[in-house]
Amino acid sequence: MNDHHYQKLLYAILATGVVLTLAHLIYAIVAYQQSSIITFIAREWW
Amino acid sequence: MKKSTALPRQLATLCCLLSFFLLLNFCLYLVLTRRLSNNFSSVSQAKMIDVAAYLPHEETSDLVMQKTDFSLSGELPTLDGAAALVPVYASVIHSLYPEGSVTYESGQFSDDNYYGENFAPDSKMQYHNTVRGYRAIVDGDTDIFFSAAPSEEQKQYAEEQGVELVYVPIGLEAFVFFVNANNPVDSLTVEQVRSIYAGDYTNWNELGGIDRVINPVTRIEGSGSQTMMLAFMKDRPIAKKSPLAFMGAGIGHSFRYYMNGMVANSGVKMLALNGILPSVDNIKNRTYPVVTPFYAIYRKDTQNPNVQALIDWLLSEEGQALIEAVGYVGIR
């Protein structure tokens, strides 16, 4: 893999990862505000 | 030679980066996303209720049919209420109102919307829940509203509109606190719960539990449960919690029947307060520390004589029997 291709791939993965993580975070925050607290507590990690 | 060492390093870097994002999102999913119910789904509206289970005059409904000789003639009052009281007022309609008095937009029930209902404007059953419901009774859109006590803002809205509301206690309910079923803590004192929400306790190990951050969860402003919570706290303000508290172990508040009878999630358990569980008997004899009435609320200037007649019936032996058959505790 030449450097040019490698950098393109690196930035593509980085950009996709950041965008998807941000989208996941925004979804989680919005859904948290709308969510049932009973379900939220019932599904805690124990 | 240079190429042969560069390629594995490049691939390793790309794999590490990919793994980092996958791991990050997986962790986010485990601690947060997995626990969020989809509130817009008609099936998992644990926050609200499954209104379809409480439709009057439907064979599949989970309602009480109270035998009575009492009947209403003329203009039937439009009934509305908080989520936790839908089984009560829907059972009243089921027992006293003729078939056809509950109508739907587009002709049939559909729960394909945010609040899970599509009652037509002329339907004698409405479901606005607490925040919208107080507005609806003040605005004259409904005749009797079944709810817990109003918030200061709701009282103020009635005052601003020049409307006097009459609050008639018709039953008793316990204000309860709950935690995950696996939380080893089973009982707290009233003062300990207040101190949790005031921010004095931040870890369960200060209360005999395991070493885990406490996540004191509150509800939306104006909801019956949150209004009750503010009253429960007396003069102690609810502290702002850490933004990372959601990763800890939660404590929430609600009303007993809503939790036990309507949502009934086996993943949570109600706490005893001062060592007393919120059972029907402990509500009746008022040994549970936080017992509160719920009300049938109407406008004092109502012109509909059936409003008072219906409330008198609710306070009668038959009306109280209906309330108890639903699962609540009567006021008498």
- Do B265 and B313 belong to one domain? no
Same domain for B186 and B205, yes or no, is: yes
Instruction: Give tens-digit pLDDT for A18-39.
Output: 999 999 988 888 777 767 788 8
B8 belongs to a structural domain: no
Give chain B's domain count.
2
Spatial CA neighbour of A43 closest among B276, B20, B217, B208? B217
Tell me the chain A residues in contact with residue B39 when contact means C-beta distances shorter than 8 Å. 31, 34-36
- Residues of B with Cβ-Cβ distance to A20 under 8 angstroms: 21, 25
Domain of B57?
A: 51-172+294-330
Whether residue B242 is found in the same domain as residue B108:
no
The pLDDT value recorded for residue B47 is 45
> Which stretch of DSSP H or E encloses residue A18?
helix A3-34
Whether residues B167 and B195 share a domain: the answer is: no
Task: Say if residue B168 is in the same domain as residue B308.
Answer: yes
Residue B178 sits in the same domain as residue B234: yes
Task: Based on the fold, state whether residues B116 and B79 are members of the same structural domain.
Answer: yes
State whether A21 and B28 contact (CB < 8 Å). Answer: yes
pLDDT at B30: 83
Q: Under 8 Å CB-to-CB from B237, ≥6 apart: which residues?
A: B198
CATH number (domain holding residue B70): 3.40.190.10
Q: Which of B29, B37, B210, B251 to mutate to test the interface with A (most CBs of A within 10 A)?
A: B37
Whether B36 and A45 lie within 8 Å, measured CB to CB? no
Q: What is the pLDDT of residue B126?
A: 94
Question: Best interface-test mutation with B: which of A5, A22, A36, A45 has the largest number of B CBs within 10 A?
Answer: A36
Question: Coil, helix or strand for B169?
Answer: strand
CA-based diameter of chain B, in Å?
98
Return the closest-CA partner of residue B279 out of B291, B265, B297: B291
Q: Give the amino acid at B310.
A: L
pLDDT at B2: 53
> B183 with B274, same domain?
yes
In whole numbers, what is the pLDDT of chain A averaged over residues?
87
Taking only Cα atoms into account, the Rg of chain A, rounded to an integer number of angstroms, comes to 18
Tell me, yes or no, whether B33 lies in a domain: no
Give tens-digit pLDDT for B119-149: 999 999 999 888 889 999 999 999 999 999 8
Residues B89 and B201 in one domain: no
In a domain, B96, yes or no: yes
* Residues of chain B found within 8 Å of residue A25, distances taken between Cβ atoms: 28
Residue B43 has a pLDDT of: 39
If you write DSSP's letter for every residue of B111-151 in order, what string do you get? --STTS--B-TT-SB---HHHHHHHHHHTTS-SEEEESPPP
CB B70 within 8 A of CB B313: yes
Residue B78 sits in the same domain as residue B166: yes
Q: Is residue B259 within a helix (H) or strand (E), and if so which, with residue range?
A: none
DSSP, res B318: H
Q: Count the Cβ atoms, other than its own, within 10 Å of residue B27.
A: 11
Whole-angstrom distance, CA of residue B150 vs CA of residue B147? 8
Specify the 3-state DSSP secondary structure of B64: coil
Q: Is B166 in the same domain as B256?
A: no
Ranges in chain B, pLDDT < 50: 1, 39-47
pLDDT for position B145 = 97
Asked if A10's CB is within 8 angstroms of B47's CB, the reply is no
Within a domain: B248: yes
Query: Looking at chain B, which residue has its C-alpha nearest residue A27?
Result: B33
On whether residue B15 sits in a domain, the answer given is no
Domain-embedded: residue B233: yes
Q: Which residue of A has its CA nearest to B252?
A: A37
**Closest-CA distance of chain B to residue A13, Å:** 7
Residue with tokens 């950098």: A7
